[in-house]
Amino acid sequence: MLKIEFTKGSDRDWIVATRDDGSVEKLSFPKKGLTVHDAVHFFVERDLSLHDAFWGKVEKGSNPEEIQVLAKAGGHASATRAEQPDDSIIELLQAERLVECFEADAWGQPADAESFLEIAKAACESALVPMPEMDAAKVEQIRENIAAFHADWIKAPAGYTSCLHWRR
């Protein structure tokens, strides 16, 4: 299990991730968007059972900087670097594309679930990875989990900590 604590700051937020063995990863990042990006990762990865994406890799001992290097070395597809990614980062890329879709969905007028699925499939294809198994009910479940986290986060004062537990 991985205990993940998101702490709200005034101009930046913090994450402390504590593994079962007591080792800790600490991150600090400027505010971006409505909800903490890595919290959106949590709900997408947990609800789609992407155990080898960002939080699964952190749980297994990787630090976030190592994960970025792994993604780049494994062939992270982008507009300037389109190549088939290494199998070790498929779930990582799937999660990142889907997190981007859920963030855009939360920031604007949400699409109906079927349209969302089409957009998400195109996002995964652009990263040269298959779309994880997901249906309209799963889209709504993830949306609800992100919205519940966001509702607490947005009204909370600086210093507020939300704790989530990652389990494979």
Per-residue pLDDT of the chain (168 residues; tens, 9 = 90+): 999 999 999 889 999 999 999 999 999 988 877 789 999 999 999 999 999 999 999 999 999 888 877 776 655 655 455 577 888 889 999 999 999 999 999 888 888 999 999 999 999 998 889 999 999 999 999 999 999 999 999 999 999 999 999 987
Cβ proximity of 31 and 54 under 8 Å: no
pLDDT of residue 73: 66
Residue 21 is predicted with a pLDDT of 96
- Among the listed residues 119, 113, 105, the one whose alpha carbon sits nearest the alpha carbon of residue 140: 113
Q: What is the pLDDT of residue 3?
A: 98
Amino acid 82: pLDDT: 59
At 79 the pLDDT is 44
Count of beta carbons in the 10 Å neighbourhood of residue 138:
16
pTM, to two decimals: 0.92
